[in-house]
């Protein structure tokens, strides 16, 4: 059975995340999005752990079920900050757990090294090699996935504090790493220009900082599982069997795709940054070198090989906002149009990937229908994101509704 999964989630206790997030809201919006499996997010945080236990019930397959039988798995993200080979490292990992007992054991072990109550994404001064040993001392079924692998500041390959290979980060323990998360600013095609990554499966998840549908499931992994069980999920991630592909945002949409300085409003392609030796032409400080720069730096082939299936899609709310010139993605006007489409066509993924133009124009304006099809066909122009700034959709004049008087004009 095909399932679209988002297994890098955050609750209300992680830094820079919405305090209004609840498991009920995550479940509701996962269904609207078209997701069939979620991570719990931040399960090591004591208050979120309590809410998980009160809202969900674990079955014998290691799956947590809501009252309506929507499935979650135990999941958290951890930030490891340490010095190795004379360089400060800041690496984020997504952690998947086989059951509650494993979560409790990891919690108790980490409490000997620091606190878990101040942030849903806790920070520890443990290197990645030791961290793998710690997790395996509890269960060989705990899965560690390097998160948003190329993001500039907090990732395994990031320009600010990362490594040049999985093996450099994990040493002999790299044999226990089976997949890496592409992150918003890279795609499987970009990853497959680096031959050393060929042995690792590629997964994509949202790393959502709120429960909204334009954040939840914006990236996800398509699975073909015999049943929804932790065992089958783990097998797919580790072997690639049942890993059908990923849903990605266009990499230009990501906040760290190209190089730049947010404060100076400077953004540059890697070729331009190299000419400047990575120095901002305005303030003369080092630029934040982006994902594209690092891919070019690490790539050992011009063309990607053995690229798994993936689909690039900008979230539906972003498309509506672009067509109608609305800045606030959570505005009532956007939500009204969004809900009209959901009521007609079941879920967002179906709208973005399957519903025909002829069917769309029965429900919404032709310009919006046209942009949805352009999105599906990879024909949208995106001004690339940089230094923490999201990329922007650049629509043609014919795709924009310049004036609107009321929701009735939509």
Domain boundary among 252, 285, 304: 252
- Residue 333: pLDDT band (50, 70, 90) is very high
- pLDDT attached to residue 85: 81
Residue 97, domain member (yes or no) = yes
109-128: average pLDDT: 97
- What's the rounded mean pLDDT across residues 242-260? 98
Q: Where does a domain end: 211, 227, 252?
A: 252
Looking at the structure of the chain, the number of domains it has is 2
pLDDT at 86: 85
pLDDT score of 366: 97
67 and 200 housed in the same domain? yes
Which of 227, 252, 277 terminates a domain? The answer is: 252
Q: Are residues 347 and 231 in the same domain?
A: no
Residues 101 and 224 in one domain: yes
Read off the pLDDT of each residue in 7-12 and give the average, rounded to a whole number.
98
Q: Given pLDDT bands bounded at 50, 70 and 90, which one contains residue 1?
A: confident
The pLDDT, as a whole number, for residue 256 is 97
How confident is the model at residue 90, as a pLDDT?
A: 97
**Average model confidence (pLDDT) across the chain:** 96
Query: Residue 304 domain-assigned?
Result: no
Q: Do 213 and 323 belong to one domain?
A: no
6 & 150 share domain: yes
Answer yes or no: is 222 within a domain.
Answer: yes
CA atoms of 313 and 284, how far apart (whole Å): 36
Q: Looking at residue 49, which CATH number applies to its domain? A: 3.20.20.140
Rounded-to-integer distance, Cα 208 and Cα 8, Å: 7
216: nearest Cα among 249, 242, 180: 249
pLDDT for res 408: 43
Residues 6+ away with beta carbon under 8 Å from 198: 192, 305, 306
Tell me, yes or no, whether 370 lies in a domain.
Answer: yes
Instruction: Using pLDDT thresholds of 50, 70 and 90, give the confidence band for residue 402.
Output: low
pLDDT at residue number 405:
45
Buried b / exposed e along 359-377 (16+ C-beta atoms within 10 A): ebeebbbebbbbbbebbbe
Can you give the residue range of the structural domain that contains 396? 315-409
Q: Tens digits of per-residue pLDDT, 348-398?
A: 999 999 999 999 999 999 999 999 999 999 999 999 999 999 999 999 999
Quick check: 407 pLDDT over 60? no
């Amino acid at each position: 059975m095909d399932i679209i999964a988002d297994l890098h989630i955050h609750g209300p206790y992680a830094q820079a995340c919405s305090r209004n997030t609840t498991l009920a809201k995550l479940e509701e919006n996962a269904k609207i999005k078209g997701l069939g499996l979620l991570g719990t997010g931040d399960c090591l945080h004591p208050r979120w752990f309590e809410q998980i236990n009160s809202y969900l019930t674990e079955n014998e397959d290691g799956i947590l079920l809501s009252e309506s039988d929507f499935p979650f798995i135990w999941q958290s993200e951890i930030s490891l900050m340490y010095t190795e080979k004379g360089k400060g490292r800041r690496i984020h990992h997504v952690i998947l757990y086989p059951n509650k007992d494993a979560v409790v054991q990891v919690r108790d072990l980490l409490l000997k090294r620091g606190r878990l109550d101040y942030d849903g994404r806790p920070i520890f001064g443990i290197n990645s090699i030791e961290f793998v040993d710690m997790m395996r001392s509890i269960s060989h079924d705990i899965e560690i996935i390097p998160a948003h692998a190329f993001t500039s500041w907090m990732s395994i390959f990031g320009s600010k504090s990362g490594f040049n290979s999985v093996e450099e980060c994990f040493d002999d323990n790299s044999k226990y790493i089976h997949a890496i998360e592409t992150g918003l600013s890279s795609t499987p095609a970009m990853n497959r220009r680096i031959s050393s990554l060929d042995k690792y499966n590629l997964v994509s998840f949202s790393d959502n900082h709120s429960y909204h549908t334009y954040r939840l499931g914006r990236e996800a992994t398509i699975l073909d599982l015999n049943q929804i069980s932790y065992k089958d999920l783990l097998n797919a991630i580790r072997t690639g069997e049942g890993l059908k592909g990923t849903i990605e945002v266009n990499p230009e949409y990501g906040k760290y795709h190209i190089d730049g300085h947010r404060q100076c409003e400077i953004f540059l392609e890697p070729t331009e940054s190299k000419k400047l030796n990575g120095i901002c032409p305005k303030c003369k400080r080092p630029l934040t070198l982006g994902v594209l720069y690092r891919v070019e730096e690490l790539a050992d082939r011009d063309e990607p090989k053995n690229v798994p299936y993936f689909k690039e899609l900008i979230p539906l709310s972003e498309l509506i906002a672009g067509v109608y010139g609305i800045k606030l993605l959570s505005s009532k006007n956007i939500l009204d149009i969004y809900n009209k489409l959901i009521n007609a066509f079941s879920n967002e993924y179906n709208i973005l990937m399957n519903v025909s133009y002829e069917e769309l124009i029965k429900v919404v304006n032709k310009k919006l229908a046209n942009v949805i099809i352009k999105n599906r066909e990879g024909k949208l122009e995106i001004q690339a994101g940089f230094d923490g700034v999201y990329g922007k959709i650049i629509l043609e004049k014919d795709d924009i509704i310049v004036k609107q008087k009321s929701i009735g004009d939509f």
